[in-house]
């Protein structure tokens, strides 16, 4: 109830201006490939410090919200996830844009982001203390199983051939081994190169693997990048609402997944959208076209990654543990403003926290008109842009995106090499998306496995460590279901189809 009482304080003209400004800046920065939410928050941190604590935190919160959604714009229009959270948005968003449904895809992404974002904030307001305790139950074993669960999505990304999809996934896992090992300190597969000591960075790798092949194909013919539908100027908002209402369960499930994963420290939006996407494909109907332009894929990805924004604040605010890098920046901003986090935050600084939450809630709702309009104009620009301008423009954004996150020249080289590799093996039916997943999840799985092994050996109970913890068992059951259910359901549905065909005959 205290939360509701502070609502009046939140709607001052200044906070409204700050929220709109933060949202627009976040969307623009998030839409630029490579400029992640962490980057957006980090560059805006000095601006926020010059503001009043509440205004400054609302500003950063809205930048985070906007950049998380903004990542979907470039993911849909040029197959480049602006942020790692939007990797799964490319799987269906870009095919939809290629088919002339880019406007619809952007509207679906915006609506899903808003709903997911609101679910995350509601979870924060009503469930913060119990959820924070749940977050602490996640240990290395759970992270190991969670990463393996994320890898099961490869099965649904392997259009054409599952073995080739799995081989791509293993190639990604192999690439994740390059650099100093987090478990043993070995310099693995670095060939005495200083450029490889730090490993393969995820953002340049993602840009190279997913976007450079698109740029290489763009230059091959004189046709347009995206087909321009007759109603290109329309946002197709009504069609987007219809798409969401037809997939209500997917929307709710993905938002809840995003919320649950968001509160687990170190998991973050990329894992959340991956697990939500895996779940959506696991229960897909035979007529669904995941990976080929199904709105359900965008709904799963965007609602889950935006739900992590609000949910990620739970461990940050309640426990003082920033679950993700953007949350660490937010935590830093709070400390600079003299707001100490922890269990007493809600009593000592109730005015700041609740007004901040109202500001972020308002910004999330505001994201609907702002996000839809931004998406519409960017979509029209990309559809109409002549190729002699579009191709070098995309190439320029790839180079900037690969470089900007670490200011490292070698990251551009890595992006280029992986992009050419992805285009070459893509010709032979090896998809690039599982390689990205392998690079993303490899270190999480390895670190979880090694730490669980060490703890298990110390306790003289390795098996119990891996298979004796309740959350681990739930995750193992999910992995088994993710692998076994799709072929069983396929067989069941084809049998049913056969029986129906016989009945008609």
Partner 1 sequence: MLWISLSLPKSRLLNLTGSMSFIALGIYIILAAQKFEELGKVTPVFIGTGVIFLAILLLAAEFLIPNSIPKTKKIEGSLPRRIIFVGLMVVWVSLLQYLGFLISSILAFIFISAAVPRKEKWSLLPFCFHAAAGVVTTVGFWLVLTTLLDVPLPEPRIF
Residues that bind partner 1 (CB under 8 A): 43, 160-161, 163-164, 166-167, 170-171, 173-174, 177, 181, 183-186, 188-189, 215-217, 219-222, 386-389, 391-393, 395-396, 399-400, 403-404, 407, 409, 412-413, 416, 420, 423, 426-429, 442, 445-446, 449-450, 453
Please identify, using beta-carbon distances, which residue of 219 and 328 lies nearer to partner 1: 219
Please identify, using beta-carbon distances, which residue of 13 and 185 lies nearer to partner 1: 185
Provide the 10 A C-beta neighbour count for residue 484: 10
What are the backbone dihedrals phi and psi of residue 192, each rounded to the nearest 5 degrees, phi first? 60, 25
Residue 325 neighbours by CB under 8 Å, 6+ apart: 37, 38
Whether 241 contacts 368, CB under 8 Å: no
Whether 423 contacts 435, CB under 8 Å: no
Token pair, residue 269, equals 């939006």
Token pair, residue 247, equals 């997939």
Please identify, using beta-carbon distances, which residue of 149 and 423 lies nearer to partner 1: 423
In the bound complex, what is the minimum distance in angstroms from residue 346's beta carbon to partner 1?
34
Please identify, using beta-carbon distances, which residue of 203 and 412 lies nearer to partner 1: 412
Please identify, using beta-carbon distances, which residue of 296 and 456 lies nearer to partner 1: 456
**Stretch (H or E) spanning 187:** strand 187-188
Please identify, using beta-carbon distances, which residue of 124 and 423 lies nearer to partner 1: 423
In the bound complex, what is the minimum distance in angstroms from residue 446's beta carbon to partner 1?
5
Residue reference for tokens 């790692």? 84
In the bound complex, what is the minimum distance in angstroms from residue 421's beta carbon to partner 1?
11
Please identify, using beta-carbon distances, which residue of 232 and 416 lies nearer to partner 1: 416
Report how far residue 88's alpha carbon sits from residue 75's, in angstroms, rounded to the nearest whole number.
9
In the bound complex, what is the minimum distance in angstroms from residue 299's beta carbon to partner 1?
29
Please identify, using beta-carbon distances, which residue of 163 and 335 lies nearer to partner 1: 163
In the bound complex, what is the minimum distance in angstroms from residue 215's beta carbon to partner 1?
7
Report how far residue 225's alpha carbon sits from residue 326's, in angstroms, rounded to the nearest whole number.
33
Please identify, using beta-carbon distances, which residue of 50 and 245 lies nearer to partner 1: 50
In the bound complex, what is the minimum distance in angstroms from residue 445's beta carbon to partner 1?
8
Report how far residue 264's alpha carbon sits from residue 470's, in angstroms, rounded to the nearest whole number.
16
In the bound complex, what is the minimum distance in angstroms from residue 266's beta carbon to partner 1?
18
Whether 83 contacts 120, CB under 8 Å: no
Residue reference for tokens 């509601």? 122
Whether 172 contacts 437, CB under 8 Å: yes
Closest CA to 67 of 57, 59, 78: 59
Please identify, using beta-carbon distances, which residue of 248 and 384 lies nearer to partner 1: 384
Please identify, using beta-carbon distances, which residue of 74 and 113 lies nearer to partner 1: 74
Whether 41 contacts 326, CB under 8 Å: yes
In the bound complex, what is the minimum distance in angstroms from residue 141's beta carbon to partner 1?
15
* DSSP letters for 117-144: HHHHHHHHHHHHHHHHHHHTT--HHHHH
Cα 100 to the center of its chain, rounded Å: 24
Residue 221 neighbours by CB under 8 Å, 6+ apart: none
In the bound complex, what is the minimum distance in angstroms from residue 426's beta carbon to partner 1?
8
Report how far residue 98's alpha carbon sits from residue 227's, in angstroms, rounded to the nearest whole number.
6
Report how far residue 497's alpha carbon sits from residue 505's, in angstroms, rounded to the nearest whole number.
12
Report how far residue 484's alpha carbon sits from residue 283's, in angstroms, rounded to the nearest whole number.
12
| CA distances from residue 266 to 101, 170, 261, 444 in whole angstroms, order as listed | 35, 23, 9, 9
In the bound complex, what is the minimum distance in angstroms from residue 221's beta carbon to partner 1?
4
In the bound complex, what is the minimum distance in angstroms from residue 503's beta carbon to partner 1?
31
């Amino acid at each position: 109830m205290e939360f509701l009482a502070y609502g009046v304080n939140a709607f001052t003209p200044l906070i409204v201006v700050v929220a709109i400004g933060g949202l627009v800046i976040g969307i623009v920065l998030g839409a630029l490939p490579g400029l992640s939410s962490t980057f957006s928050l980090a560059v805006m941190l000095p601006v926020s410090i010059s503001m009043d604590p509440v205004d400054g935190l609302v500003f950063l919160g809205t930048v985070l919200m906007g950049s998380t959604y903004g990542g979907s714009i470039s993911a849909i229009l040029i197959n480049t996830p602006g942020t790692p959270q939007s990797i799964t948005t490319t799987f269906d968003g870009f095919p939809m844009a290629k088919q002339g449904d880019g406007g619809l895809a952007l509207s679906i992404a915006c609506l899903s982001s808003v709903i997911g974002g609101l679910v995350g904030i509601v979870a924060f307001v009503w469930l913060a203390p119990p959820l924070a305790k749940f977050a602490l139950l996640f240990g290395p074993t759970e992270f190991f199983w969670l990463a393996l669960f994320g890898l099961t999505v490869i099965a649904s990304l392997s259009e054409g051939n599952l073995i080739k999809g799995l081989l791509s996934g293993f190639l990604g896992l192999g690439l994740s081994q390059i650099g100093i090992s987090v478990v043993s300190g070995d310099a693995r597969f670095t060939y005495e190169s200083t450029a490889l000591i730090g490993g393969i960075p995820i953002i340049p790798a993602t840009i190279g693997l997913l976007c450079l092949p698109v740029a290489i194909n763009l230059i091959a013919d004189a046709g347009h990048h995206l087909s321009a539908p007759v109603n290109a100027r329309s946002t197709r908002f009504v069609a987007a609402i219809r798409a969401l209402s037809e997939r209500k369960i997917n929307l709710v499930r993905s938002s809840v997944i995003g919320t649950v994963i968001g509160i687990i420290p170190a998991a973050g939006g990329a894992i959340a959208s991956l697990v939500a996407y895996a779940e959506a494909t696991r229960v897909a109907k035979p007529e669904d076209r995941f990976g080929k332009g199904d709105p359900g894929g965008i709904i799963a990805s965007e609602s889950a990654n935006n739900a992590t924004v609000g949910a990620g604040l739970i461990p940050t605010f309640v426990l003082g543990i920033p679950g993700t890098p953007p949350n660490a920046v937010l935590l830093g901003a709070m400390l600079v403003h003299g707001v100490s986090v922890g269990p007493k935050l809600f009593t000592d600084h109730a005015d700041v926290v609740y007004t901040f939450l109202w500001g972020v809630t308002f910004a999330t709702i505001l994201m609907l008109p702002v996000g839809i309009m931004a998406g519409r104009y960017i979509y029209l620009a990309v559809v109409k842009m002549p190729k002699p301008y579009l191709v070098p423009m995309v190439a320029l954004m790839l180079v900037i995106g690969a470089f900007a996150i670490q200011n490292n020249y070698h990251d551009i080289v890595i992006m280029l090499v992986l992009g050419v590799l992805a285009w070459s093996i893509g010709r032979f039916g090896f998809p690039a998306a599982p390689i990205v997943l392998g690079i993303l999840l490899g270190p999480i799985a390895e670190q979880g496995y090694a730490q669980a092994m060490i703890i298990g050996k110390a306790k003289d109970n390795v098996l119990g460590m891996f298979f004796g913890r309740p959350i681990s068992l739930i995750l193992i059951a999910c992995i088994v279901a993710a692998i076994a259910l799709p072929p069983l359901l396929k067989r069941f549905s084809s049998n049913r189809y056969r029986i129906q065909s016989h009945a008609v005959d």
